[in-house]
Structures are given as structure tokens and as C-alpha cells.
Chains A and B, each alone.
Chain A
Amino acid sequence: MTQTHQAAPEAAPPAEPGGREARAAARRPSTDGAMVRRALIGSVTKLHPRVQARNPVVFVVLVGSVLTTVLFVRDLPGAPAAQNVFNGLVALFLWFTVLFANFAEAVAEGRGKAQAAALRAGRTATTARRRTFADTTEEVAATDLAVGDVCLVAAGRTIPGDGDVIEGVASVDESAVTGESAPVIRESGGDRSAVTGGTRVLSDEITVRITAPPGQTFLDRMITLVEGAERKKTPNEIALNILLAGMTAIFLLAVVTLQPFAVYSGAEQGPVVLVALLVCLIPTTIGALLSAIGIAGMDRMVQRNVLAVSGRAVEASGDVDTLLLDKTGTITLGDRQAGGLVPMPGVTDEELAAAAMAASRADETPEGRSIVEYVRQRYGSGSDTGIAGSEPVPFTAQTRMSGLDGEHAGIRKGASEAVRAWVEEQGGEAPEALDHAVARIAGSGGTPLAVARSGGGGARVLGVVHLMDVVKPGMRERFERMRAMGIRTVMVTGDNPRTAEAIAAEAGVDDFLAEARPEDKLALIRKEQSGGAMVAMTGDGTNDAPALAQADVGVAMNTGTQAAKEAGNMVDLDSDPTKLIEIVEVGKRLLITRGALTTFSIANDVAKYFAIIPAMFSGALPALDTLNIMGLSSAHSAILSAVVFNAVIIVALVPLSLRGVRFRAQTAAATLRRNLLIYGLGGLIAPFIGIKAIDTVLTALGVS
């Protein structure tokens, strides 16, 4: 059973192999010896009939195990030794079949349990400083807080419960929840006001209004989710269970009616043989691994730092037809970047570049840095403005400009009206070309920043910097993969349609929604759904909440508001909107694994018939020995080999069911062809080889 060590953690997804994965890996307990030990204990404790009754296939095996054991014990005194060895081994391997099934589930649960334990360990008994009516504070246990209570949390203290910051701003260490050690800023008002119980304030003091009752905080829910304590069967799992139960019933019928036919043919079978046949035929492989596959699917989400509210949501993400992606932060970088310089008539490119760079040196905003970077790349850093002894002029909301002032000259960069006013103030005049350039850049969705220079008794406009949206690298390839998988991508943006179209074309999305208000997003989701499509989206703001709730897969950012987190059915702890694409792949992988192992399990039966039927009947009807195409050595060893194979294959497939079948971005037809070949055809052939090999070993051991 050491094979479970092969259940290696997921390889990092191709997209972002950086820090996040490493963080997730650090929080993820490895499949170590202790976990395997726990799983082994779990395989035995799960033998309780109430646990077994949930799984009809394994339950039938359990009944078969008990039955064969009773028969073995009953016949022990009188039967010949060979018969006893056979009965005993069949009973033993039927027990193994049940235990292996339990083991698979226990291993899958093990990771989640270990994670939950780690989360619990990080949680300490906290007290809260609750504000009273008299406006004083009192110290109470965090567990005594009620929704609506207001608490003060000072630096170094743990936030006692989920809530909203109503006063103050503080840096908060949220590593207990996200695994991310860098602190985040939480402040009152806006979309960064939500704090999570169990996280720690590092600096300053904030006042928090509690929004979740104790025991139902985000951390509590997270523990419940990763632990799988409230795991319910998903819709597809239920349907699959019906198929498996139905097939079990059909095979029960086939085996029960076989005995009369056998009696008629003068080849009455012992009950141990009939039980062995039944267990080999019913779909034990998928029956044993089904719940492990589901748990592992949830676990794969957790490994990507995504918390799904239910397995149903994970499953739904595989069915997504349409992805709604916010432009800013998802498709484009969050901030605009310098993308061009437009000099005014009579100004050289170099002159403008040098001035723009000089004006941005002190500008620590991403836009400012992008201008410095842009100029350095194209013009080198040697250009000089010739302004000596300059002092930087910082940006203010009033002036809407930044720049520098020297002894005799100055440079300004900023909104075109502000720059124009500055130039005119000093007796200069803005050229007509400025209006043209500004209008053109604004019209294309970019942001124009005018650059001007004073000195020598006047001021003049040098030109305009074109700030534009920059599509994140690799997005086009990702969208192409989505398209290959049949998923439509829709970009949602507040930009005007012309701008939106340009960015949509550059990023390679299939469609876009321009000038979108939150209600437009909701309407778009409803429209897609009425056409039968399943829609996924991300959101963080309170005004995203209705759309998040309406979407089939709504992923809320962890940095988002409480309302958003409650409306969606997943929370991304990394607050990375591009994660949606990975979420879809995790969902697909889960469904593919189920389908592949179901197909494999059913295809296996063909070989088992070729082992067992001749073994059962070639004594009475020698002609049927022709069907023994594997050349199995004896009737007993043929049946035993099939039973052993049936048990061992479960353990052999545990790693695959935990890891999941690989998913490639390709059309459904190509995926089907590939998986049918591997799991359908492979499922037909593998047991022929496996059973023959086991028969050879059994014969060599002299077992039969």
C-alpha cells in the first residue's frame, strides 16, 4: 500500500508558477507516513454498515465478504484443503476490496483533514475589546460577540471575528487564511473594508463591526470546507451512483439466474464462486474510487487557494460555457502604461522624451514609472533637459500635475487642461496640435498626459504622453485555449465601445460588454443563461454581488467585500481574477476522471468473463474451455486471479483518482478520442494482462 506515496502533489499549472503555488504548497501537507497511517485506520473504521450503505457497490462487496467468510468457516472442518485455501483467499480478497475502497476515501480525506487541523492550530482563543453603549470598552471572549458588535483592534491583536472596518486604516497579516505573508491594507469605506476573523493587525488601530456570528466566520467555514465534513453528493455524482446501482442490480440478476441455468446444465456452482463472479462484475473500481475523486477535486481547488462552497460548484465549473472577465486587472494590467509620445510641431522626439522622463522621476505611481521605463528603453537614459539644481514638484489633487522646478526653468506633466493653464499663466500659448493629439488619444481609450516646459521668459507645450491599457502577457494564448475547449470569453469594461473593441481585439476575447454597469453584467448573465449557457465570473465589490449570485460559478476575491464573498460560490484567497481559467480546468479534470474510471471499470468486465465463465463451466461442458483464451491454469486460480485483480486495481488507481486525469485544452471530440483509447481500450486490454500475470504468480506459489 506504499503506492500512495505516488499521489504526488499537483504539478504547478503552466500559467503562474511563481510564489503563489509555492505558498499553497507550503500550506499543503504532504502525503506522509502519518497520513497513510491515519488512512489505514480510517479504512477499518469506515467498515461500519451505516457508512457502507451510502455506497451501493461497495456495500454489495461487504455483504459478499461476510457471506464468503461465513461459508469459509462453515466448510473449514469438512472440505478438502484446496477448497479451503480457495474459499479463504476469495474471502480475504473481498475484504481487501472493501478495505481498499475505504482506504481510497480515507487518503483523499486525509489531506483535507490535515489542512483543517493546521488551520485550527493557527486559531487561538481570542478576546475582543467591545465598545459599550457608554462608549467605553470591555474585554470579552471572541465567542461571545454578536453580529453588530463593534470592537477596537489595536496593533498586534487578532481580529476577533469577520467584519467591516468602520474606522481607521491598518495593515493586516492575513496569512492564516491566504497563506500570503505580505500584509494587506484594510480601511474603512470602499471595497477594502472587509476583515477576516483570525487574522492579525500589524500596525495602527481599526474599529470593526462584526458581521458574522461566532462559529460561522469565514475561517470556520473554511475549516468545514477543507475538512469535507459537510460533503454532499453532487448532482453528477448522484446520477453516476444511480448508474452504478442499476448496473449492480443487473449483474445481481445475471448471477442469481445463472445458478438455475448451471443446475440445468449439470454444473451447479458453489456460492463462493457465485459471489466472486458477482463482485468481479459489479463496477467496484469506480464505486470504490468515486468519493475519493470528488474529494480530490475539492482539494485541487484548495491547492489553488480557491475555496468552493460546495462540490456542486466545482462540478459546475467544468460545464462553464461563458467566462465574464473584468478588463482591468484581469485582462489588462491594473494600471495604464506609457505607450507613445506625440511631440508638438517644432519639438523633437528626444526633447519631449527627456522632459517626460525628468518630470516622472519623482513620480512613484505605476504610470510615472512606466514613462521612465518607456523613455529608457527607447532613448537611453543619457538625455538631459539642461535644467540645473532642480527640485521635484509632487502631484497634488489640486494642481493635477507633477514635475520639477529649476532655477530658471521648470517642467510639468499632467492633465492637458492643467498643463495648458500653467503654460498660459506664464504667457505661453498652447498649440492647436495639442487639442488634436489629446482628442485622438482619448478617443482611442488612452489617457493623454501633456508635457510642458517653462524657461527663457515663456512656456510652451512639448507634447503628449499616451498612456494606454496593456494586455497582460500570455492572455491571448489563454483565450485561445479556452476557445479550443469551447468556452466563450467576454470582456466586461466601463470603457466606451471603441476602446473596448480595440482591447478586446488585442487580447483575443470573443466578445465584450462596453460601458458596463453592474446591472448590465447581471443582464448579460441572464441572457447567456436563457440561451442554455453556464456562466462564470469574478467580482469583488458589493455591487457585483447580484451578478455573482446569478452566475453559475461566481468567484469572489478574498480582498472583496463581505457581500461579494457571500454571494459567490467560490472565494479566491489570492484574489487573482485570472484564476477563473484554472478553476474551469479543475472542474473539467474532476469530471473527466470520473468518466475515465467508469469506462475503465465497465470495460474490465469483458476480460473477467473470459476468466470466470470457462472456469465455472468447462468441467461440465468441456467445449467452453475454448473461451479460456488466457490459458489460465485452473478453475480456482482463474477465479482467484480475477478477484485479486479486481481488488488490486483499486489501489493501483488511487494515485490517478487523487491526481486526476490530465486535461488538455482541445476540442471535446479530440479529448473523447484520447480518453476512449486510454481508458476504454486500455480497460479492455489491461485486465487480460493483469489476470494472466496474477494467475502465473498464484500457480508459481502453488496456491491452486
Chain B
Amino acid sequence: MSGAAWSQSAALVAVLLATAPFLGRYMAKVYGGEGKAPGDRVFLPLERVVYRLCRVDPESEQRWTSYAISLLAFSFVSFLSVYALQRLQSVLPLNPVGLPGVDAHVAFNVAVSFMTNTNWQAYGGESTMSHLTQMAGLTVQNFVSAAAGMAVMAALIRGLARRRAATLGNFWVDLTRGAVRVLLPLSFVVAVVLAGLGVIQNFKGHTAVTTLEGATQLIPGGPAASQVAIKQLGSNGGGFFDMNSAHPFENSTALSNFVENWAILLIPFALAFTFGAMVRDKRQGRAVFGIMLTVWAAMSIGAMGLEAAGNPRLDAMGVDQSVAPDQSGGYLEGKEVRFGPAASGLWAASTTGTSNGSVNAMHDSFTPMGGGLAMTHMVFGEVSPGGVGVGLNGLLVMSVLAVFIAGLMVGRSPEYLGKKIQAAEMKLVMLYLLAMPAVLLGFSAASVLTESALASLNNAGPHGLSEILYGYASTANNNGSAFAGLDSGTVWYTTTMGLAMLVGRFFLIIPVLAIAGSMAAKQPAPATSGTLPTHTPLFGGLVVGVVVIVAGLTFLPALALGPIAEQLSL
């Protein structure tokens, strides 16, 4: 790794350390529910309007079941609205290029994708979606699907923090407050900054220009900066353009790249501190932050290192792949020269560690293990730091699992934050752990057995397997980043990947809410020197070990036949 890579990552960590704790504590007040929160004067009237329109009583609390039903109902309505907008966009306004309605199976896939906060794009943005669909459908989902994920997290934290409680909060209030007080103001600021750095923001259609060579080129326009801001902040990742953040209109300079990378990681990392504040034990929050940071840093260093090292076969051909002031160096295929291997590797680790999925380089073109690391980072369950809300949920579930396995070793029935982990919670934890591998491995296996599914591959051999595995890893984990090279627009892939996204979202969220409900009812035992401390580096290491071993044992055989075999054959 070059000095530039180290300094970029160090700067990113420094900026995160400076910003995440503040935002985390602010969000704890937003979701804390007790007393006043900053900005009440601005936000409260706005929220009251929403509550009145939706006939929500902000004071009433919900049990986990009605919380879950509210979330499901909201998600279903979201799905319908995005689906309808796509199908009817040709007759709706704000369609300057006159794009036709979207095909049914693609529209299903896209609606599921944005409703589940995945933003897998089985389409090219500028050539498929009208401005209205982008703004009223996709961008709205960017906000509310992220806010819904954060709401579930708020419910889980309350479940852990409360004693002998029946309720977890109010979904509609959490949804509204998350969108109004966190996502909207933050994306406003980030959008302005990005626009200032050269990301485009207009309502134009295609502008025809004559190039220097005399050819005519259509240059797309649109409100990119505002969508890019929420795409990064809300772990969405769906690009305005097909090339996502590799496109200069979405990500203009090295500085905008840095800002966007920071925006990807900000809220997920900040939520660790929100957790610490809400359970009234800052050490717990710092421990969670430490776990997230450790895994993310390891994956970042791995990806940056592999990409900077380049391809040994090119070395054998006498190609100079070294990183130097006058050349980006490294394995440059599929990367922007502006970003080079360092910024591309760092981004790859960040976008797969969160459920973001936006890309500034093509992961398909990474070194085999560079792409393999991106895949591995997703199959860890996206907990480092994970998507907004759902990442923390995943890490807390893994912590519960770690407590259960290791907690016994201190000679007590396992307990997390003083609450006993019993059969009911373990059932839900196992359901949570099974859902993602089931769809990921199941659909991947079905795909390699299906002739027509294999026809979508651009590559044979281990790389082809990687392309399929990556596609389902991305959708089953609600990531949304794509390993190009797989034509995923077919009926098979849009349908199965749509199902993978649904399972990856709801078969994880519902067990989490059930765990929250079950934990809320418990009376915590007092912490003594005889109880397992869950804020120490030792416990942090244990959680990292559990995350790595659980994913490793589940996915190693498949990964061995894909990226590992490919890398070792170089």
C-alpha cells in the first residue's frame, strides 16, 4: 500500500472519529423519546403535520408485533407506489426524454430493490427512469427505506435498554423523526457540498453537444447531487447514472470522492454511539464502534493492498504496476484514474461493509481476491459498520450469539446487557442467521444448474461463479452493488434477486423485532465481576471472531471455488 492510501484512510478515520460521536449522541436524543431533542422548534411543527395527516398518535407505543405490522404495511405501500410510477411513467409528467414504461419484471425488481434499501439496479438510470420516477419513487424510497431500517434499530435498542416493558416505541414516529431530523438535514448539507464540488444538479434532459472530433454526443442531465447525497447517507447506493459514483457527474473529484466515502460510513458508525447513549453505557457503544472499525479497516487494507499490488501475470509481462506520483499504478482495469487503487479499494470495502452498494470502480475488474473481499465483507452480514440501522442490528445479533457461545464459559447462563439469552432468543437468532445464506447459496446453486441462467455470464470458470455469487450476496444482503459481467436483467435474475432482497430484508428485520420484544420484557440482572463484560477488547475480538467464523464456515466452500481458486491460479 502506498503512502497516499495510508493517508487517505487515516484522514477518513480521523474525520469519522470527529463527526460520528456527535451525530450518534444527537440521534440518541432523536430516538430517545424522553424530554427535548435539539431542533424541536424547527422539526416538531413539521412532524405534527405529518402525524395529523397520517392520523398517528405520537404518544402511543407499539408492541413488537404491531411495530412489525406497521413496517410491513408501510413497505408494501412503498413497493406498490414505486412499481406503479415505473409502469406509468410514460403518461406521467417530468419525462423530458419520453422514456417508455418499465417492463413488469424489471419494475418488480426495482420496486423491491428500493423498498428494501438495496438499490440493486437491474437497469441503467439515465436510460430507463424518468425524472419523476427518480424523484418521487426512488429518491423518496432512499429516505424512507433508510429511515425504516433506523426505526427497527431504535426498537431493538429500546428492547435491550428497557426493563419489563411490553412496547418498543412507535414505528410511525421513529420513521418520521429519522427522516425529518437525521436524513433530510444531513442530505441537504451533503448535497450542497457535492454540488459545490462539481456534482451536477439540474432538471435538464439530454444536451446534444458536438465533440472536438466533430461527433454529436448526448450529455445527460438531472438532479444528481441531491440523490447522491441520500444515496450515500442512507446506505442506498442506487446511482443516478448507470456508472454510479464512477461517473464524473456523480463523483467529480478526489475531494467529492472523499466526501461521498465519508457519507457512506457516517451514520452507520454514528449509530454505535447512539446505541451506547441509549443503553446508558457509553462503553458498550465504543466497543461496538471498535468492532465495526476493526473489521472495516482490515477489509479496507486488504482491498487497497490487493488492488495496489496489481496482477502478477502483468508483472511477468514486464508491466510497471507500481504506484508512483506520475501513475495511479496498481491493477487499474475498471478503475477511474482519478481515484486509483487506493481510493477504489477503500470505497469497495466501505460500500460492501455498509449495505450501500454504490461503486466508484467496477468490482468485477478487481483482482480476484479484491472482488472476493468485497463479497466476503457482504457475507459477514454487513455489520462493519453495516447499513443504516440494519448494520447495528446485525452486529447486536452477532453479539448475542457471541455471548451465548462464550458467555457460558464464565459459568453463568448467557446474558447480554444483563438480560438472559434463552431458547426463544436463540430460535430468532438462528432464523436471522439462516435466512441470508439460504437465499444466497440456494439461488446461486439453482443458477449454476440452470442453462439459461448460465447464459447471462460473461465469464466461465471461477470468475463466472464469482459473478453469480456476488449478485446474490449483494441482493440477499440488501447491498445493491453489482459485479458487472452478469446480465441480471433476465426474468430469472430479476425475480430470484427480487426474492433474495425481500428475504434479506424482512427475514432479518422481523426476527430482530421479535428479539427486541422478547428482550424488552426481561428484567436485567445487575452487572457484577461475575458477569461477562461486553465492552472489553477481549469481547470485541470475540465478536469479530464469531462474525468471521460463522460467515467463513458457511461460505468458504463456495468462495474457494470462486475468487480463492481464481486468485491462487494467478
Chain A residues engaging chain B, CB cutoff 8 angstroms:
235-236, 238-240, 242-243, 245-247, 249-251, 253-265, 267, 281, 315, 318-319, 321, 483-488, 530-534, 587-589, 591-592, 594-596, 598-599, 602-603, 605-606, 609, 613, 617, 621-624, 626-627, 663, 667-669, 671-673, 675-676, 679-680
Q: Whole-angstrom distance between the alpha carbons of A679 and B524 in the complex?
A: 28
Which of A484, A534, A623 has the most chain B CB atoms inside 10 A of its CB?
A623
Q: Whole-angstrom distance between the alpha carbons of A587 and B410 in the complex?
A: 11
Chain B residues engaging chain A, CB cutoff 8 angstroms:
401, 404-414, 418, 421-423, 425-427, 429-430, 433-434, 437-438, 441-442, 444-446, 448-449, 461-462, 464-465, 523-526, 528-533, 536, 538-539, 542, 545, 549, 552-558, 560-562, 564-565, 568-569
Q: Whole-angstrom distance between the alpha carbons of A209 and B442 in the complex?
A: 69
> What are 18 residue pairs bridging A and B, where the CB atoms are less than 8 Å apart in the complex?
A235-B422, A236-B408, A250-B434, A253-B442, A254-B441, A254-B554, A261-B561, A263-B449, A315-B413, A321-B528, A486-B528, A486-B529, A486-B531, A532-B524, A591-B408, A617-B560, A669-B538, A672-B410
Complex contacts, B433 vs chain A, CB 8 Å: 246, 250
Complex contacts, A531 vs chain B, CB 8 Å: 523, 526
Q: Whole-angstrom distance between the alpha carbons of A532 and B120 in the complex?
A: 46
Q: A260 touching B430 by the CB < 8 A rule?
A: no
Q: Whole-angstrom distance between the alpha carbons of A260 and B449 in the complex?
A: 6
Q: How far does the Cβ of B531 sit from chain A's closest Cβ, in whole Å?
A: 6
Q: How far does the Cβ of B440 sit from chain A's closest Cβ, in whole Å?
A: 9
Q: B422 touching A668 by the CB < 8 A rule?
A: no
Q: A253 touching B426 by the CB < 8 A rule?
A: no
Q: How far does the Cβ of B368 sit from chain A's closest Cβ, in whole Å?
A: 10
Q: Whole-angstrom distance between the alpha carbons of A37 and B343 in the complex?
A: 68
For the residues of B in contact with A, the DSSP-based class is helix
Q: Whole-angstrom distance between the alpha carbons of A315 and B412 in the complex?
A: 8
Complex contacts, A253 vs chain B, CB 8 Å: 434, 437-438, 441-442, 554
Q: Whole-angstrom distance between the alpha carbons of A240 and B407 in the complex?
A: 12
Given A236-B413, A668-B411, list of 11 further CB < 8 A pairs? A258-B558, A315-B413, A531-B526, A532-B526, A533-B525, A602-B405, A621-B565, A623-B565, A672-B539, A675-B410, A676-B406
Q: A258 touching B449 by the CB < 8 A rule?
A: no
Q: A254 touching B569 by the CB < 8 A rule?
A: no
Complex contacts, A259 vs chain B, CB 8 Å: 445
Q: B462 touching A621 by the CB < 8 A rule?
A: yes
Complex contacts, A488 vs chain B, CB 8 Å: 528
User: Known: A253-B438, A261-B448. Is A243-B411 also a contact (CB below 8 A)?
Assistant: no
Q: Whole-angstrom distance between the alpha carbons of A257 and B421 in the complex?
A: 31
Q: B408 touching A265 by the CB < 8 A rule?
A: no
Q: How far does the Cβ of A682 sit from chain B's closest Cβ, in whole Å?
A: 12
Q: A238 touching B423 by the CB < 8 A rule?
A: yes
Closest Cβ neighbor of A235 among chain B residues? B422
Q: Whole-angstrom distance between the alpha carbons of A598 and B546 in the complex?
A: 13
Q: A626 touching B568 by the CB < 8 A rule?
A: yes
For the residues of A in contact with B, the DSSP-based class is helix
Q: Whole-angstrom distance between the alpha carbons of A599 and B523 in the complex?
A: 27
Q: Whole-angstrom distance between the alpha carbons of A424 and B15 in the complex?
A: 92
Across the interface, B426 reaches (CB within 8 A) one of A242, A262, A263, A265, namely: A242
Across the interface, A679 reaches (CB within 8 A) one of B409, B444, B465, namely: B409
Across the interface, A609 reaches (CB within 8 A) one of B526, B528, B556, B561, namely: B556
Closest Cβ neighbor of B528 among chain A residues? A486
Complex contacts, B554 vs chain A, CB 8 Å: 250-251, 253-254
Q: Whole-angstrom distance between the alpha carbons of A596 and B531 in the complex?
A: 16
Q: A243 touching B410 by the CB < 8 A rule?
A: no
Q: A606 touching B552 by the CB < 8 A rule?
A: yes
Q: A319 touching B413 by the CB < 8 A rule?
A: yes
Q: How far does the Cβ of B98 sit from chain A's closest Cβ, in whole Å?
A: 43
Number of residue pairs across A and B with beta carbons under 8 Å?
A: 223
Across the interface, B568 reaches (CB within 8 A) one of A255, A256, A623, A675, namely: A623
Across the interface, B529 reaches (CB within 8 A) one of A242, A256, A484, namely: A484
Q: B413 touching A591 by the CB < 8 A rule?
A: yes
Q: Whole-angstrom distance between the alpha carbons of A673 and B536 in the complex?
A: 11
User: Known: A254-B437, A261-B444, A598-B405. Is A676-B538 also a contact (CB below 8 A)?
Assistant: yes
Q: Whole-angstrom distance between the alpha carbons of A672 and B532 in the complex?
A: 8
Q: How far does the Cβ of B511 sit from chain A's closest Cβ, in whole Å?
A: 12
Which of B411, B427, B569 has the most chain A CB atoms inside 10 A of its CB?
B411
Q: How far does the Cβ of A278 sit from chain B's closest Cβ, in whole Å?
A: 11
Q: A321 touching B558 by the CB < 8 A rule?
A: no
Q: How far does the Cβ of B226 sit from chain A's closest Cβ, in whole Å?
A: 42
Going nearest first, the 4 A-B pairs with the smallest beta carbon separation are A486-B530, A595-B408, A246-B430, A588-B411
Q: B437 touching A242 by the CB < 8 A rule?
A: no
Q: A672 touching B438 by the CB < 8 A rule?
A: no
Q: B549 touching A591 by the CB < 8 A rule?
A: no
Q: A669 touching B533 by the CB < 8 A rule?
A: yes
Closest Cβ neighbor of B163 among chain A residues? A532
Q: B523 touching A265 by the CB < 8 A rule?
A: no
Q: Whole-angstrom distance between the alpha carbons of A249 and B553 in the complex?
A: 12
Which of B413, B525, B526, B533 has the most chain A CB atoms inside 10 A of its CB?
B413
Q: Whole-angstrom distance between the alpha carbons of A642 and B224 in the complex?
A: 56
Q: B561 touching A591 by the CB < 8 A rule?
A: no
Q: How far does the Cβ of B103 sit from chain A's closest Cβ, in whole Å?
A: 29
Q: How far does the Cβ of A132 sit from chain B's closest Cβ, in whole Å?
A: 53
Complex contacts, A265 vs chain B, CB 8 Å: 461-462, 465, 561, 565
Q: B561 touching A318 by the CB < 8 A rule?
A: no
Complex contacts, B408 vs chain A, CB 8 Å: 236, 240, 591-592, 594-596, 598
Complex contacts, B425 vs chain A, CB 8 Å: 239
Closest Cβ neighbor of B443 among chain A residues? A257
Closest Cβ neighbor of B438 among chain A residues? A253
Q: How far does the Cβ of A628 sit from chain B's closest Cβ, in whole Å?
A: 11
Complex contacts, A484 vs chain B, CB 8 Å: 529
Q: B525 touching A668 by the CB < 8 A rule?
A: no
Q: A591 touching B412 by the CB < 8 A rule?
A: yes
Q: B409 touching A599 by the CB < 8 A rule?
A: yes
Q: B549 touching A606 by the CB < 8 A rule?
A: yes
Q: Whole-angstrom distance between the alpha carbons of A487 and B412 in the complex?
A: 12
Q: B565 touching A258 by the CB < 8 A rule?
A: no
Closest Cβ neighbor of A238 among chain B residues? B423
User: Known: A588-B412, A621-B569, A673-B538. Is A257-B526 also a contact (CB below 8 A)?
Assistant: no
Q: Whole-angstrom distance between the alpha carbons of A250 and B441 in the complex?
A: 10
Complex contacts, A587 vs chain B, CB 8 Å: 411
Complex contacts, B444 vs chain A, CB 8 Å: 257, 261
Q: A260 touching B448 by the CB < 8 A rule?
A: yes
Q: B412 touching A318 by the CB < 8 A rule?
A: yes
Complex contacts, A603 vs chain B, CB 8 Å: 549
Q: B411 touching A592 by the CB < 8 A rule?
A: yes
Q: B565 touching A617 by the CB < 8 A rule?
A: yes
Complex contacts, B553 vs chain A, CB 8 Å: 250-251, 254, 281, 602, 605-606, 609
Q: Whole-angstrom distance between the alpha carbons of A235 and B413 in the complex?
A: 9
Q: How far does the Cβ of B75 sit from chain A's closest Cβ, in whole Å?
A: 26
Complex contacts, B401 vs chain A, CB 8 Å: 243
Q: Whole-angstrom distance between the alpha carbons of A608 and B238 in the complex?
A: 40
Closest Cβ neighbor of A483 among chain B residues? B529
Q: A595 touching B405 by the CB < 8 A rule?
A: yes
Q: A668 touching B412 by the CB < 8 A rule?
A: yes
Q: B526 touching A533 by the CB < 8 A rule?
A: yes
Q: Whole-angstrom distance between the alpha carbons of A622 and B566 in the complex?
A: 11
User: Known: A253-B442, A321-B526. Is A591-B411 also a contact (CB below 8 A)?
Assistant: yes
Q: B525 touching A532 by the CB < 8 A rule?
A: yes
Across the interface, A254 reaches (CB within 8 A) one of B406, B414, B448, B555, namely: B555
Closest Cβ neighbor of A622 among chain B residues? B569
Complex contacts, A671 vs chain B, CB 8 Å: 409-411
Q: How far does the Cβ of B100 sit from chain A's closest Cβ, in whole Å?
A: 37
